[in-house]
Amino acid sequence: MSDKICIVGIAGGTASGKTTIVRKIKESFGDDIVVINHDSYYKAHNDLSYEDRSRLNYDHPESFDTDLMIEDVKKLKNNQEIDMPVYDYTIHNRSDATVHVVPKKVIIVEGILILESKELRDLMDIKVFVDTDADERLMRRIRRDMVERARSIESILSQYRETVKPMHEQFVEPSKKYADIIIPRGGENLTGINILREHLKLMMAD
């Protein structure tokens, strides 16, 4: 591999299979890869109560500190280390902790809205959109949020109806047109993942 740092954007709707694809790509590149999650860059809301924070729309572009993420990605691309914020879902707020990130040859930027920002898109060498059926994504989200975030099915469905679905239709789905590679069916699509893997290897070999 060359010394070039390659930025890969992996977008797609909630529970579309982005994490599975990231894991499979990591298996190929090992220590040469690092992942930056857009979710880590949710804005801090220390001025709000827990109840008020729980009612915020976390699927709107304005809920993310994308400017900070852009700044961090630029630093990584310039071979500088960063301290990535940590978001705590149990309190609906940014944690006091950070994660120290050292630049790697492949930097994956992952999140539902990473292709929505032109400035962030322009930093990417490859832009990927994971395209999975809405019903399948909803079922996966219910399972994930009940198990990993201890949420009730009522709260999950309410949030999905009020913010997740409309924000997907308004912001996430339209961003698909910016993708270089679209992977239908998410992590089940081994052929699509292999194409991405091989394309990435070619780019890193230049």
CA dihedral 190, 192, 198, 200 (to 10 degrees): -120
- pTM value? 0.90
Would you say how long the chain is, in residues? 206
Spell out the residues 6+ positions from residue 31 whose beta carbon is closer than 8 angstroms to its own: 104
Angstrom distances, CA of residue 149 to CA of 18, 37, 50, 51, 53: 18, 17, 15, 16, 15
155 located within any domain: yes
Q: What is the pLDDT of residues 13-40, one digit of tens each?
A: 988 889 899 999 988 888 889 999 999 9
51 located within any domain: yes
Q: What is the pLDDT of residues 141-167, one digit of tens each?
A: 899 889 887 788 998 998 899 999 999
In angstroms, the CA 48 to CA 173 distance is 30
State mean pLDDT over 196-205. 85
15 located within any domain: yes
1 located within any domain: no
- For residue 206, what pLDDT band results from cuts at 50, 70 and 90? low
3-state helix, strand, coil in the chain (%, to 5): 50, 20, 30
Give the residue numbers spanning the domain of 98.
6-205
43 located within any domain: yes
32 located within any domain: yes
How many domains is the chain built from? 1
**What is the domain-level CATH number for residue 39?**
3.40.50.300
Q: What is the CA radius of gyration of the chain?
A: 17
Say what the pLDDT of residue 1 is. Answer: 41
State mean pLDDT over 46-53. 92
Answer yes or no: is pLDDT of 94 > 80: yes
Reference 18, options 87, 122, 109, 143; nearest CA is 109
140 located within any domain: yes
